[in-house]
Structure 1
Amino acid sequence: MAPLLLVLLLALVLFGAGFSLEAQWWIAVVVLLLRVLGFMVRTATGSGSRARW
């Protein structure tokens, strides 16, 4: 009974880690896209130089 519980626990932990890593990848992609869009559409200051983020 104990080996079966250990295998089920391991499967649950690996499933949770896989889901977490997948979600972190999607969050990283969204942040990267926002950063690139912000870089491309940033406004110029009064002196003509571009503002930094």
Structure 2
Amino acid sequence: MFWKIVGVVALAWVALALIGALFEHLFGILVVSAIIFGGYLLYKAISSGKHDDIMKV
């Protein structure tokens, strides 16, 4: 029974370590993609503003 408990604890520890490593790397990818998406939205907002000025003239 003791070794079953030790095995379950070790398995849970390894699983949490893997999940933590995945989240650490995915967080970096999330930040980079948010910056790129924000830049895209900013570009679209600026470029659509120029077209609205041309249409009004």
Give the match for residue 47 of structure 1.
Answer: 49
Higher RCO (CA < 8 A, seq sep 6+): 1
Determine which structure has more spread, i.e. the larger CA radius of gyration: 2
- The CA deviation at 1:3 is 0.8
Identity across matched positions, percent: 6
- The CA deviation at 1:40 is 3.7
Alpha-carbon separation, structure 1, partners of 2:35 and 2:48? 23
RMSD: 1.7
Give the match for residue 37 of structure 2.
Answer: 38
Secondary structure at the counterpart of residue 46 of structure 1? helix
Amino acid aligned to 1:9: V
TM-score by length of 2: 0.65
Runs of 4+ in 1 over 2 A off after TM superposition: 37-42, 45-48
Alpha-carbon separation, structure 2, partners of 1:5 and 1:46? 64
Give 5+ residue unaligned stretches, structure 2: 51-57
**1:24-45 C-alpha deviation (Å, 9 max, x unpaired):** 1111110101112233454123
Secondary structure at the counterpart of residue 47 of structure 2? coil
